[in-house]
Amino acid sequence: MQKENSYGLKGKNVKSIFDEIGFMNNKRLGRCFQTRRKKYYFDTGTGKVFEVNSNVYYILQKILDNADKEDLLNDSDVTVEALNEVYSSIMQENILKAPVLEGFIGSQITDLEGQLTKHRAQVTLELTERCNLRCKYCIYNEGQGGYRNFGNRDMTYEIAKQGIDDLIENSGDDSIYVGFYGGEPLLKFDLMKRCIDYCETISGKDITYAITTNGTLMTNEIAQYFAKLGRKIHITLSLDGPQAINDKYRVYKNGKGTFSDVLKGLKNLLEAFKDKDTLSLGINTVLSEPTTDNLDKIETFFEELPGLPDNVIYTSSFVATKDKAMDYLGVDSEVEREIFFNSNHINDYFDPLFTWATSEIDGEDVTEKRIAHENVVKELALIHKRLLFDKPMPYYYLNGCCVPGARRVYVTTTGDYLLCEKMGPSPTIGNVYTGLDISRIKEFYVDKFCDEAKRYCKDCWAVHLCGMCYMNCFEEENVNFKYRHSKCIMNRLYIQKNLELYHEILENNPQVLQVVDKYDFV
């Protein structure tokens, strides 16, 4: 008799849950995850995270795996108490109710023309296609990133000035940014200097500058010029660590290592900026062989490198590999489940930098590892600063996508406008002579992109936490997401790992999240 009553109540609760959430594609509704001690549920619609007991966790996982009504009714591990708790949470906390994604919102869509004619912020000038190095992992090399080619073209001052003037004319804010890129931009220091000197004559705008350089051409004269600009210029210098690691891949055309010349250039920079407080310096490290031993050596090298100011921003990246086309397999496909399994059972299968940097979290920061700090803080900030609502969000933002052409524009040596320096083959968005092509931007980066993106994003539980942008979504004159699907799998893996790490920190040492709270997405 008791068994019959329990089954009747169980059936009632199961039916109530089915009625409330509709049971369509439930994988998109949320995600179960766990730390070493506790179990949690992340709800897609509201952004809420709940600590749950094992019985509730089991039921939620079944729901998200699209179990049917009879499975839940006949499952001996599904208890009446746990079903009642799930149903109560659905009604009181509004979980498992994320609406189906039918479109996106955001300033990319609602105010595109206004953003492009009044609020542009940055232009990056490709001063030259040439480079004095032939780094073995460079994106210019076929078989690596392979999405650019070595070239010999240099930008003319006319093109550079046109690009700067177009930015100034269409920027409503007082603060704008001019970046210099290559190739190796210091090969065209004369052009860079001429551009900066021109910008310094413009009144009514606070213009700051940025350069990404391999450092080998940083002479005393160039360093002294930058020092006069002080904090108005941010310099990112590429250095992969101690000589044995750096010179294995960062080499000249003749195969000679670059380490000694980079250190000489860095020394010139540090000596020119005698007041280190005025030096805005970033060091980027490409992790070509990210073993624990190598990561330890790189960390120690920068820790012991003399003269570096305390405010250096360290960024790290892995070697880019040529993108491979992949058919869409859906969320939690067999391939995705295998990748998730391997990430939990094979050492260094998942991002070795992340694993190395977060294996022990103590002290007053999310990681004591300087070469990983910026990466880890940014990833955790995506969780910490997520949108939270009492009821499911009725809309979906293009989370990781900038306003195309507004936040930044990349100007090629020939004067064409591209979305940014990180994009591979993709449709141009205008040129320095005619300006941004708003109709073209809307066609490719709003209408076609959104139509294609919603086909896949509608299935994804991580859609509100996603930081992916337009990269890997285009060919020269077409939208093509076949290069993005594998990236989406890894992105979901990152987000789940970040959810786990974030809540591990909350359990054990929540005060270290203060640095995450202060992080500003720019």
Distance CA 88, CA 86 (A): 5
Three-state secondary structure string covering 449-491: HHHHHHHHHCCCCCHHHCCCCCCCCEECCEECHHHCHHHHHHH
Work out the pLDDT band at 9, boundaries 50, 70, 90: confident
Angle value at C-alpha 240, between 252 and 224, nearest 5 degrees: 75
Please count the other Cβ atoms lying within 10 Å of the Cβ belonging to residue 56: 22
Lowest mean pLDDT among 232-241, 356-365, 385-394: 356-365
- Reported as type and span, the H/E element at residue 176 is strand 175-181
DSSP state string for 114-168? HHHHHB--EEEEE-BS--SB--TT-TTSTTTT-SS-----B--HHHHHHHHHHHH
**Residue closest to 170 by CA, chosen among 438, 418, 412:** 438
CA torsion through residues 498, 499, 501, 506, sign: positive
Residue 151, both tokens: 């070239």
Which H helix or E strand runs over 40? Answer: strand 39-43
- pLDDT value at residue 512: 86
- The predicted model gives 235-252 an average pLDDT of 98
CA geometry: angle 403, 407, 410, nearest 5 deg: 105
- Average pLDDT, integer, range 51-73: 94
Spatial separation of the C-alpha atoms in residues 59 and 56, rounded to whole Å: 5
Q: Is 3 a residue whose pLDDT tops 60? A: no
Between 53-67, 143-157, 217-231, 269-283, the lowest mean confidence (pLDDT) is in: 143-157
pLDDT tens by residue, 366-411: 888 999 999 999 999 999 999 999 999 999 998 888 889 998 999 9
Position 219 pLDDT exceeds 80: yes
CA–CA distance, 216 with 223 (Å, rounded to integer)? 12
Buried b (16+ CB within 10 A) or exposed e, 272-286: bbeeeeebbbbbbbb
Could you tell me the pLDDT band of residue 23, with boundaries at 50, 70 and 90?
A: low
Proportion of the chain above pLDDT 90, given as a percent:
76
Separation between Cα atoms, residue 262 and residue 176, nearest integer Å: 29
DSSP secondary structure letter of residue 331: T
Q: Burial code of 407-419, b = ≥16 C-beta within 10 A, e = fewer?
A: bbbbbbbebbbbb
Least confident of 20-24, 294-298, 329-333, 379-383: 20-24
Confidence of residue 115 (pLDDT cuts 50, 70, 90): confident
* pLDDT at 142 exceeding the cut of 60: no
Average pLDDT over residues 353-373: 84
Residue 362: pLDDT band with limits 50, 70, 90: low
**Whether residue 106 has pLDDT greater than 80:** no
Query: What span, in angstroms and rounded, lies between the C-alpha atoms of 495 and 380?
Result: 9
The string over 165-197, giving b where at least 16 C-beta atoms fall within 10 Å of a residue's C-beta and e elsewhere, is ebbbebbeeeebbbbbbbbbbbbbbebbeebbe
Residue 144 has pLDDT above 50, yes or no: no
Report the pLDDT value the prediction gives residue 360, as an integer from 0 to 100.
76
Q: What does the pLDDT average to over 441-464?
A: 95
> Under DSSP, is residue 103 helix (H, G, I), strand (E, B) or coil?
coil
The helices-and-strands tally (H runs, E runs) of the chain is 19, 15
86-90, 113-117, 207-211, 310-314: which range is least confident on average?
A: 113-117
| Per-residue pLDDT tens digits for 421-451 | 988 899 999 999 999 999 999 999 999 999 9
Q: How far is CA 287 from CA 240, 374, 411, 471, in A?
A: 7, 15, 28, 21
For residues 84 and 135, give the distance between their C-alpha atoms in angstroms, rounded to a whole number. Answer: 60
- For residues 21 and 10, the answer to whether their CB atoms sit within 8 Å is no
Q: Please state the rounded mean pLDDT for residues 295-316.
A: 95
Strand pairing of 474-475 and 430-431?
Answer: unpaired
Among 6-15, 125-134, 207-216, 260-269, the least confident range: 6-15
Q: Is the dihedral of CA 433, 435, 440, 445 positive or negative?
A: positive
Written as one string, the DSSP assignment of 406-457 is TS-EEE-TTSBEES-TT--S----EETTTEE-HHHHIIIIIIIHHHHHHHHH
**Is residue 97 helix, strand or coil?**
coil
Rounded to an integer, what distance in angstroms lies between the CA atom of residue 439 and that of residue 420? 18
Dihedral over alpha carbons 209, 210, 216, 217 (to 10 degrees): -20
What number is the average pLDDT over the span 129-148? Answer: 71
Q: Which residues neighbour 155 within 8 Å (Cβ) at sequence distance 6 or greater?
A: 125, 126, 127, 128, 188, 191, 411, 413, 415
pLDDT of residue 347: 81
Task: Tell whether the model's pLDDT for residue 6 goes beyond 80.
Answer: no
- Taken in order of first residue, the domains within the chain and their CATH numbers are 2-93 (no CATH), 99-118+327-366+380-409+420-522 (no CATH), 129-322 (3.20.20.70)
